[in-house]
Chain A
Amino acid sequence: MFEQLLNGFATALLPLNLLIALAGCLVGTLIGVLPGLGPTATLAMLIPLVFSMPPATALIMLTSVYYGSMYGGSTTSILVNIPGESASVITTIDGHKMAMQGRAGPALAIAAIGSFIAGTFAVLMLTFVGAPIARYALLFGPAEFFALMVFGLCTVASLTGTNVAKSIISTCFGLMVATVGIDLVSGAARFTFGNPFLQDGVDFVVVAIGMFALTEVVITAREVHAGTRAEIVKADKVWVSWSEFLYSLPSIIRGTVFGFIIGMLPGAGATLSTFITYNLEKRVCSHPERLGTGDIRGVANPESANNAASGASLVPLLTLGLPGGGATAVMLGALMMLDITPGPLMFEKHGAVVWTLIASMYVGNTMLLLLNWPLVNIFARVMRIPAKFLMPTVLVISTIGVWSLSYSAVDLVLTGAAGLLGYYMRIHKYPVEPLILGLILGGRLEQAYRQALIISKGSNMIFLEKPISLGLLVCAALFLFLPMLLKRSKQFVAAQESAEVA
């Protein structure tokens, strides 16, 4: 195996391939930075290039673009408060506050470092214990998924302040939006009003651009007009300090491990993992009251989680030939076009190419970290562009992001509606994150529940009979009710108050 890996490195480190990896990371980051264009969109745009390349080079290109765009997504979260993809929603909470405090540099840097550690961990796991642990993904059937989704939804409790009613309303509305479209389990069209553009439901990008981009643009414009825009503190340093790194290292490790475990399951892995680890973080770290106020750990944790998760989603794909979520489906398509049939025999039949791919993942991770040394500096300067020039451009590019989804005017109208609603919610302190979580998990939650009931022929006992699902449901209940029991603890009260202020 080592020999094969070394051969892989030999190919991946060829000057041409190194150049391709560098270009891929750069292009991926630059496109991923554009609001509304996440990893999936970026990969899709670059797939035509793959045709003209030999398989190994093409795969190197794709992985480096993927890494780059994942990282680019977090950059927009930090700089302009617009999550580039659903896995970066949590990053906005602390990331953007850091940027406003003049700490855009350290925020971007810790995101890069966290991503590097998490990404490398994921590849190491893939290299050495990939196949055995990938089987764990098979243990998750509909019943287990349902329990996991319920667990994920319970994290809403820790995201929000003391106003439970507002977060329930927000979550519930997100779940309601998720029911729009053709119901997978029955094939019935729901809430589509006969419009074909609604049949696939409301895309995350539509809601995110509306609720984050439009809202941010308008709020900034209001603040500029009223002269109340907070002066962005001038950055004193662009890289993260040693003590900051040590301070956030435990968060990175926790994010990495949980991100990896959750990310290996197909579906909403990366996003779910950020919500769950952030929630855990609030429970286990010291000074939880700092989270949500521009704490560097609030960037380090979700960013490591989503990178570990996206690395982990490649484990079942490469070892068992089973696609995970979003971007791995694009990778799967690319593999098929390169005449590599994903499956358990991939290592035997296309060993050279697959090992090159794995080697290129190490290279891509490292490349991204090195690339960010200069890039962080440049991106941090974005904060210095006057809002009156930056915001209109953000608006235009966000619109293109929505438009490129399926060239539908309906999406644009929905974006506008989401913008108005998002603005109201921001002004009147309705938390947006539960809505996003509801939107992302809603479809799968319902599907998994009904799939499980079809399998069990209508008996709800299936969720209690399966050990994994039972365990997850118990955890969910603990998460929900433990805070009530702990309410008298001083630390907890402090955390709640800080969350409310935020």
Chain B
Amino acid sequence: MKKIGLLVAGLALAGPLAIVPAAAWEPNGQGECIAPSNPGGGWDITCRTAASVLQKTGAFKGSIYVTNMPGGSGAVGIANVVTKRKGDTNLIVSASPALTFTVALQRTPYTYKEVMPLAQVGAEYGGFFVTADSKFKTLADLIAAMKADPKSVSFSGGSAPGGQDHMKVALFAKAIGVEPTKVVYVPFQGGGEALTSMLGGHTMVAALDISEATGQLEAGKIRGLAILSDKRSSKFPDIPTATEQGAPVDYVIWRGYYMAPGVSKEAYDWWVGTMKAMVNTPEWAAEREKLGWEPVTRFGDDFVKHVNDEAVRYRLLLKELGFVK
């Protein structure tokens, strides 16, 4: 019913505007970005940044407001969108690999196939960090210690085992030939607590995203041992990558959005075009710089394929680690 109504509305709108075919569809009314996290969380910031840039640049005519829908690492958000918001053309939802893990662990009955992945607007690198006076001077020291006795090194991270931060440790262990299940990984509630525990000397190495470590890195309180990506971070080019130091781990944390299922092609294309235009604006560049994101983007079908591949890849990895049967 609603779909037909939208179609009719679309046709009615398209009629008088037929002279300008590119502007066949325009959102009208209020826009919304659902952040499946608490205010201040990563997804919340992803939403608020886009909302602010889209409004500032006039790309979105109305106002965009952010709704926080925390729960189950994105499971609550995706369930709500799939069941209640079908065909809502004014809605985008922020996402990241944390959602991929929720999908891969089957914590939600839905996958990226039930929604419409829209765009990746940036990426963040993760890394390993130690206190400035740590006995691990380089990644080589850490690798040597772990190869000698995996239990002699304790990692802290801001996610449960099988989540985003633990996977950094697991992938690293795999890359250097240490059994991932033997690594001492202490999970904390969020990167901030993981960092605190490492600073207090309760754990030795913290597996964090760069943005979480920025403040302490700049102050020289902690040292980056490695960036888990094929490229160095543009903000901290002094920290070598793990690959350079003989542990090939490529683990990029993208930031992006998906839309509700059943959105018309025109609306979806409009959003893809808008997102493409947005990431090239100076306003976006400034925000991106602030957040320490890398300008790695993917749009439309390219992004759909990426997230679906990623879900399959992580599922295999989790199976290997014994998280899914």
Q: Do chains A and B touch in the complex (CB under 8 A)?
A: yes
Smallest CB separation, A316 vs chain B (Å)? 8
**A343 contacts chain B at the CB level, 8 A cutoff:** yes
- Check A451 against B187 for contact (C-beta < 8 Å): yes
- Check A185 against B219 for contact (C-beta < 8 Å): no
- The verdict on A406 contacting B70 (CB below 8 Å), with A51-B52, A343-B215, A454-B186 known, is yes
Instruction: State which of B2-10, B198-206, B243-251, B300-308 sits at the interface with chain A.
Output: B198-206
Smallest CB separation, A448 vs chain B (Å)? 10
**A269 contacts chain B at the CB level, 8 A cutoff:** no
Pick the most buried of A40, A184, A187: most chain B CB atoms within 10 A of its CB. A187
- The verdict on A182 contacting B71 (CB below 8 Å), with A333-B40, A406-B76 known, is no
Complex Cα–Cα for A346 and B214 (A): 11
- 17 intermolecular pairs with C-beta atoms under 8 Å apart: A40-B38, A143-B202, A184-B187, A185-B161, A187-B187, A197-B71, A266-B192, A321-B215, A322-B192, A322-B196, A329-B41, A339-B290, A343-B221, A344-B215, A345-B219, A408-B80, A454-B186
- Check A342 against B202 for contact (C-beta < 8 Å): no
**B48 contacts chain A at the CB level, 8 A cutoff:** yes
**A332 contacts chain B at the CB level, 8 A cutoff:** yes
**A494 contacts chain B at the CB level, 8 A cutoff:** no
Contacting residues, chain B, for A341 (C-beta < 8 A): 214-215, 218
Among residues of B, the one whose C-beta sits closest to the C-beta of A143 is: B202
- Check A187 against B197 for contact (C-beta < 8 Å): no
- Check B38 against A44 for contact (C-beta < 8 Å): yes
Instruction: State which of B61-69, B117-125, B223-231, B260-268 sits at the interface with chain A.
Output: B61-69
Contact of B39 among A43, A189, A451, A455 (CB under 8 A): A43
A176-234 with Cβ < 8 A to chain B: 182-187, 189, 196-197, 199-200
**B140 contacts chain A at the CB level, 8 A cutoff:** no
**A150 contacts chain B at the CB level, 8 A cutoff:** no
- Check B196 against A138 for contact (C-beta < 8 Å): yes
- Check B72 against A323 for contact (C-beta < 8 Å): no
Contacting residues, chain A, for B163 (C-beta < 8 A): 187
B interface residues (Cβ-Cβ under 8 A, vs A): 38-41, 44-45, 48-49, 52, 65-73, 75-76, 79-80, 105, 107-108, 151, 154, 160-163, 166, 184-190, 192-193, 195-197, 199-203, 211, 214-216, 218-219, 221, 290-291, 323
Contacting residues, chain A, for B185 (C-beta < 8 A): 454
Contacting residues, chain B, for A197 (C-beta < 8 A): 71-72, 76, 79
- Check A336 against B45 for contact (C-beta < 8 Å): yes
Contacting residues, chain A, for B151 (C-beta < 8 A): 457
Contact of B107 among A182, A334, A345 (CB under 8 A): A182
Complex Cα–Cα for A323 and B80 (A): 30
Contacting residues, chain B, for A406 (C-beta < 8 A): 68-71, 76
- The verdict on A345 contacting B218 (CB below 8 Å), with A142-B186, A329-B38, A333-B40 known, is yes
A interface residues (Cβ-Cβ under 8 A, vs B): 40, 43-44, 47-48, 51, 137-143, 182-187, 189, 196-197, 199-200, 266, 316, 320-323, 329-334, 336-337, 339, 341-346, 349, 405-408, 447, 451, 454-455, 457
Smallest CB separation, A377 vs chain B (Å)? 33
- Check A51 against B48 for contact (C-beta < 8 Å): yes
- The verdict on A200 contacting B72 (CB below 8 Å), with A334-B40, A336-B45 known, is yes
Contacting residues, chain B, for A320 (C-beta < 8 A): 199
Complex Cα–Cα for A140 and B200 (A): 7
- The verdict on A182 contacting B221 (CB below 8 Å), with A189-B107, A341-B215 known, is no
Among residues of A, the one whose C-beta sits closest to the C-beta of B34 is: A407
Contacting residues, chain A, for B38 (C-beta < 8 A): 40, 44, 329-330
Complex Cα–Cα for A342 and B211 (A): 10
Complex Cα–Cα for A186 and B185 (A): 10
Complex Cα–Cα for A40 and B234 (A): 34
Q: Rank and list the top 9 A-B pairs by shortest CB-CB distance, nearest first.
A: A343-B215, A333-B40, A199-B72, A141-B202, A196-B75, A187-B160, A344-B219, A138-B200, A44-B39
- Check B189 against A447 for contact (C-beta < 8 Å): yes
- Check A196 against B161 for contact (C-beta < 8 Å): no
- Check A333 against B41 for contact (C-beta < 8 Å): yes
Contacting residues, chain B, for A333 (C-beta < 8 A): 39-41, 44-45
| With A184-B187, A196-B71, A197-B71 already in contact, 18 other A-B pairs whose C-beta atoms are closer than 8 Å | A138-B199, A142-B202, A182-B160, A183-B160, A184-B160, A197-B76, A199-B73, A320-B199, A322-B192, A329-B39, A337-B45, A341-B218, A344-B221, A345-B219, A346-B215, A407-B80, A408-B76, A457-B184
Among residues of A, the one whose C-beta sits closest to the C-beta of B72 is: A199
Complex Cα–Cα for A345 and B76 (A): 37
Complex Cα–Cα for A451 and B185 (A): 9
Contacting residues, chain B, for A143 (C-beta < 8 A): 202
Contacting residues, chain A, for B105 (C-beta < 8 A): 187
- Check B215 against A342 for contact (C-beta < 8 Å): yes
Smallest CB separation, B233 vs chain A (Å)? 14
Contacting residues, chain A, for B69 (C-beta < 8 A): 406-407
- Check A343 against B80 for contact (C-beta < 8 Å): no
- Check B72 against A454 for contact (C-beta < 8 Å): no
Contacting residues, chain B, for A141 (C-beta < 8 A): 197, 200-202
Contacting residues, chain A, for B75 (C-beta < 8 A): 196, 199
Smallest CB separation, B179 vs chain A (Å)? 16
- The verdict on A455 contacting B193 (CB below 8 Å), with A142-B186, A408-B76 known, is no
Smallest CB separation, A394 vs chain B (Å)? 24
Contacting residues, chain B, for A200 (C-beta < 8 A): 70-72, 76
Contacting residues, chain B, for A48 (C-beta < 8 A): 48, 65-66
Complex Cα–Cα for A140 and B215 (A): 21
Among residues of A, the one whose C-beta sits closest to the C-beta of B110 is: A196
Contacting residues, chain B, for A182 (C-beta < 8 A): 72-73, 107, 160
- Check A142 against B197 for contact (C-beta < 8 Å): yes
Among residues of B, the one whose C-beta sits closest to the C-beta of A331 is: B40
Complex Cα–Cα for A48 and B79 (A): 25
Complex Cα–Cα for A332 and B191 (A): 12
- Check A47 against B187 for contact (C-beta < 8 Å): no
Contact of A196 among B45, B76, B215 (CB under 8 A): B76
- The verdict on A337 contacting B48 (CB below 8 Å), with A322-B195, A344-B219, A344-B221 known, is yes
Complex Cα–Cα for A331 and B40 (A): 7
Complex Cα–Cα for A18 and B72 (A): 41
- Check B215 against A455 for contact (C-beta < 8 Å): no
Smallest CB separation, B39 vs chain A (Å)? 4
Smallest CB separation, B173 vs chain A (Å)? 16
Contacting residues, chain A, for B218 (C-beta < 8 A): 341, 343, 345, 349
